[in-house]
Amino acid sequence: MALSRLDHLYRQVILDHSSHPHHHGTLEQATDQIELNNPTCGDVIQLQLILEEDRINDIRFSGSGCTISTASASMMTDAVIGKTTTEALALAEQFSLLVQGKENEEMEDLGDAAILSGVSKFPARIRCATLAWKGLEKALSEARKEQDNE
Ligand code: ZN
């Protein structure tokens, strides 16, 4: 496949996620929630999770953001739903490496999120792409701290 066709395909997947985001909305029974913003672009994201025995049973996001941040949040929720905290944090680490241009084989586990590797060429958009993942990391590490205190 010619590179331009590939870029086109990736762009289409990103646009599909941003116009019809997966797991968009709120959770009444959320056990953990967080809000993060990216002042450089103006993206704001609220994440809500239902953690049960260290597993992400459900996740939703809301807020307002650019195409990249919305698509990335949608892809992130697809990648981590049903995963344990440890698995989800490992995926967040993989994603962080990916957008720095450090790809490796384990990145298949990221699903559609792996498509955002192209963002590494646009430093200004890296924060847009990582916002949802940073939120996830923060929410999960706070949840862990709470558990340790119990
Ligand atoms: Zn943005």
Residues with CB under 5 A from ligand 1 (ion): 41, 43, 66, 69, 128
Q: Percent of the chain at pLDDT above 90?
A: 76
CA–centroid distance, residue 144 to ligand 1 (Å) = 28
Apex 43 CA angle, 133 and 29, nearest 5: 60
Tokens encoding 112: 């559609």
Q: Mean of the pLDDT values across residues 83-102?
A: 94
* pLDDT value at residue 104: 76
Position 1 confidence tier, pLDDT thresholds 50, 70, 90: very low
CA–centroid distance, residue 109 to ligand 1 (Å) = 24
Position 38 confidence tier, pLDDT thresholds 50, 70, 90: very high
CA–centroid distance, residue 127 to ligand 1 (Å) = 7
CA–centroid distance, residue 25 to ligand 1 (Å) = 19
CA–centroid distance, residue 138 to ligand 1 (Å) = 19
120: CATH:
3.90.1010.10
Q: pTM for the full model? A: 0.92
Q: Please tell me the least confidently modeled range out of 2-16, 33-47, 49-63, 100-114.
A: 2-16
pLDDT tens digit sequence for 118-140: 888 888 899 999 999 999 999 99
Q: How far is CA 29 from the centre of its chain?
A: 21
Closest to 49 measured CA to CA, from 132, 109, 113: 132
* pLDDT value at residue 3: 56
Domain span at 89:
5-149
Count of domains in the chain? 1
CA–centroid distance, residue 39 to ligand 1 (Å) = 9
* pLDDT value at residue 109: 86
Tokens encoding 38: 């990216």
Q: Mean of the pLDDT values across residues 47-59?
A: 97
CA–centroid distance, residue 148 to ligand 1 (Å) = 34
